[in-house]
Amino acid sequence: KRLNIGHILASSTLAIANDVSSGNFELLDTVDKFSSLLSPYLVYKPNFPEYLPQLIHISEKRNIHTFKLHDDGNDLPYNNDSYLPFYEWADAHGAVILFHTFGKVHLVPIMDIAGRFKNLTCLLAHAGIVDETLYVDAVKRFENIQLELANSWAWFGLIERLVKKVGAERILFGSDMPFLSPEQQLGRIVM
């Protein structure tokens, strides 16, 4: 509130670290306590396919269509077949997915997904951290891809270059709290 951040979409690090059910429920409890400030990114991990029906049930019951995917702990590319049931459901519901990215290793599979599932909105976290031109190419090739700026490597001029090449309307602010300071993340944009 001190920084005039009006609303936060948050995911669970516990869920990202492979305790998906506990992490997502803990997040939902926190969202319920601070609903005017928080909304959830529910986490899906393809190495726990038995959790998908529960995730879908929670999403439909609570009208949540924002998700986070992170390959920590599963080491599967985002276009691995084990993700497909989730993508099919998410595409049918016009979901937004925030993908953890680190350049080409993640972007190539995500571009495959964006091309196959056109009703998904794919947010590329940490845009430009490496392989900057590939992030730009992804946005130019796919209307359902947007960039997200949470990034500890603040390369000089990165934000200006991204805005010039893809337009500010295709770029979202992200802080990566609590790992990064929101002051630093805002400062990268403001200054």
Tell me the pLDDT tens digit for each residue of 24-67. Answer: 999 999 999 999 999 999 999 999 999 999 999 999 999 999 99
Confidence bin at 190 (pLDDT 50/70/90): confident
Phi, psi of 171 (to 5 degrees): -125, 130
CB of 149 within 8 A of CB of 180? Answer: no
The Cα–Cα gap between 35 and 170 comes to: 26
182: left (phi over 0), alpha (psi -120 to 50) or beta: alpha
pLDDT at residue 168 in the model: 96
pLDDT at residue 94 in the model: 98
- What is the reported pTM? 0.95
**pLDDT higher than 90, residue 1:** no
Confidence bin at 75 (pLDDT 50/70/90): confident
pLDDT at residue 101 in the model: 96
- Give Cβ neighbours of residue 71 (< 8 Å, ≥ 6 apart): 77, 78, 100, 106
